[in-house]
Amino acid sequence: LIKETRFFRHRESHAFVRHSVQRHAASGGGSLNLWSVGCSTGQEAYSLALDAIEGFSTARRSGDFAVIGTDLSRSALQEARTGTYPAHALLDLPKEYATRFLEPVGAGRFRFRIEVRSRLAFVVDNLLLRQRGFFPEGADIIFCQNLLIYFRRWRRHDTLNFLAQRLKPGGHLILGPGESHDWCPAGLTRVEHPGVAAYRRPADDEASHGS
C-alpha cells in the first residue's frame, strides 16, 4: 500500500510545525529531530524539512535539524531519496519554495537542492515491529498523518503509545485531524490549536513540578 501523498497536505499542521520550530529556535534550543511516519514517496518529509528551514529563518536563528522518513515500501523510499518530482506533483508547493529550493533536471522534473536533501534520510521500517534504530535519543516532532486510519482501534492506540514513547520531553506528536479525537496517548497532553491534532510530552522540569 502506497498512501496518497502531496506536499503540505494538511496546511494547518505544517503551520503548527513551523511555529513550533520557531519557538524552539527563539528560545535557544539545540538541534531538532523530525520523524515522518509512513512518508511514502517523500513529499511529507520534504515538507517538514521546509517547515524547519522556515521556522529557523523566522526566528532569525541558524539551526541544525534532521528529518527521518520511514515507510514499508522500498520502491517509494527509493523515489523519495532522489528528491526529484514531476511538475504536476509540485502544484501544492508554494511558489517561493519552488524558486528557492528546486532545480530543474530535465524532462519536466525538478529536484530539491542539496541543502535540503542533505537534511533527510529515508529508512525502510515496519511501525508495527517497534524498531528503534533511529533517533535513539527520541524525536522532537513526530508527524503521523493518514496512516492510522488503516489500523484497527486497538492497534491504533497501541501504535500511538509507542510513538509517544519515542518523543523527547517537550516534543510534539502531530496526527491527522480526526485520527484520535476520542483518545490521548499515554503521557501526553492535547495541544489546543484550531484544526490541528497535536499532543505534547511535558518537559522534564514540568513533569517534576507536577509530581
Show me where the domains of the chain are located.
11-210
Cα of first residue to Cα of last residue in the chain, in angstroms, is 44
Kindly tell me if the per-residue pLDDT of 90 is higher than 80: yes
> Which residues neighbour 206 within 8 Å (Cβ) at sequence distance 6 or greater?
none
Kindly tell me if the per-residue pLDDT of 198 is higher than 70: yes
CA distances (Å), origin 20, targets 16, 32, 48, 97: 6, 11, 12, 19
Which tens digit of pLDDT belongs to each residue from 117-157? 999 999 998 887 776 667 767 999 999 998 888 888 888 88
Average pLDDT of the chain to the nearest whole number? 90
Tell me which of 3.40.50.300, 3.30.365.10, 3.40.50.10490, 3.40.50.150 is the CATH number of domain 11-210: 3.40.50.150
Which tens digit of pLDDT belongs to each residue from 23-50? 999 998 889 999 999 999 999 999 999 9
Beta-strand (E) ranges in the chain? 32-37, 65-71, 84-86, 102-106, 109-112, 120-124, 139-144, 167-175, 189-191, 197-200
So what's the pLDDT on residue 175?
A: 94
